[in-house]
Amino acid sequence: MNIPMYDAVIIGSGAGGASVAYTLTKAGFHVALLEKGDFLKRSDFSKDELAYCRRNIITPDLFNEYHIIAQEKNAHWVETPTYESGWSFWNGNIVGGSSNLMSGMFHRMHPDDFHLLQKYGPIEGANIVDWPITYEVLEPYYTKVESLIGVSGKFIPHPFEPPRSHPDYPFPPTKENGIVTLFDKSCRSLKMTPLVTPRAILSQDTSDRNACYYSNYCGSYGCSSGAKGSAREALIVPALSTGKLTLLSHTHVTQLFSSTKERIETAQCINTVTKKRFSISGRIFIVAAQAHESVRLLFNSASRFHPDGLGNTHGQLGKNLIFSGGGAGEGVLHTRTLQDISPQILMQPGYFFNRSLLDWYYVDEWWDGYFKGGLIEFMFSHANIISQALRHTYHDGRLQWGEALATRLQKTFTQQRAIRFEVFNDWLPTDKCFIQTAPNHKDIYGMPVGKLHIWGHSHDMKVGNYLAQKATQILEAMGAEYIYSDISATPAPNLIAGGCRFGNDPRTSVLDPNCRVHDIENLYVTDASFMPTGGSVPYTWTIYANALRVADKIVAHLHDL
**CATH superfamily placement of domain 5-154+176-197+222-560:** FAD/NAD(P)-binding domain (3.50.50.60)
Q: What share of the chain is helix, strand, coil (3-state, %, to 5)?
A: 30, 25, 45
Is 247 within 8 Å of 167 (Cβ atoms)? no
Q: In sequence order, what E strands does 312-359 have? A: 322-334, 355-357
**Taking residues 168-183, what's their average pLDDT?**
96
Angstrom distance (rounded) from CA 245 to CA 79: 41
Report how far apart, in Å, the C-alpha atoms of 534 and of each of 128, 195, 496, 546 are: 11, 21, 9, 13
Neighbours of 99 (CB within 10 A): 29
Length of the chain: 561
Is 271 within 8 Å of 250 (Cβ atoms)? yes
**Does residue 530 carry a pLDDT above 70?**
yes
290-303 pLDDT tens trace: 999 999 999 999 99
**Taking residues 538-556, what's their average pLDDT?**
98
Residue 130 CA, distance from chain mean position: 21
Angstrom distance (rounded) from CA 551 to CA 19: 7
Backbone angles phi, psi at 481, to 5 degrees: -115, 170
Angstrom distance (rounded) from CA 96 to CA 35: 9
Of 173, 183, 492, give the one whose Cα is nearest residue 357: 183
Question: Domain map of the chain by residue range?
Answer: 5-154+176-197+222-560
How much is the mean pLDDT over the chain?
Answer: 94
Angstrom distance (rounded) from CA 122 to CA 130: 11
429-469 pLDDT tens trace: 999 999 999 999 999 999 999 999 999 999 999 999 999 99
pTM: 0.96
368-395 pLDDT tens trace: 567 899 999 999 988 888 888 888 888 8
DSSP assignments along 301-314, one per residue? T--SSSTT-TT-TT
Is 104 within 8 Å of 229 (Cβ atoms)? yes
Q: What is the reported pLDDT for 1?
A: 59
Is 129 within 8 Å of 532 (Cβ atoms)? yes
Angstrom distance (rounded) from CA 129 to CA 330: 34
**Does residue 367 carry a pLDDT above 60?**
no
* Contacts of range 58-65, beta carbons closer than 8 Å, 24 or more positions apart: 58/92, 58/93, 58/94, 58/100, 58/101, 58/222, 59/88, 59/90, 59/91, 59/92, 59/93, 60/90, 60/93, 62/86, 62/88, 64/443, 64/444, 65/90, 65/443, 65/444, 65/449
- Tell me the percentage of the chain whose pLDDT exceeds 70: 99
Neighbours of 545 (CB within 10 A): 25
Angstrom distance (rounded) from CA 97 to CA 95: 5
248-293 pLDDT tens trace: 999 999 999 988 999 999 999 999 999 999 999 999 999 999 999 9
Burial 270-307 (b: 16+ CB within 10 A, else e): bebeeeeebebbbbbbbbbbbbbbbbbbbbbbeeeebe
Q: What is the reported pLDDT for 296?
A: 98
Q: What is the reported pLDDT for 86?
A: 93
345-354 pLDDT tens trace: 998 888 999 9
Contacts of 39 (CB under 8 A, 6+ apart): 94, 95, 247, 249
Q: Which helix (H) or strand (E) holds 266?
A: strand 266-271
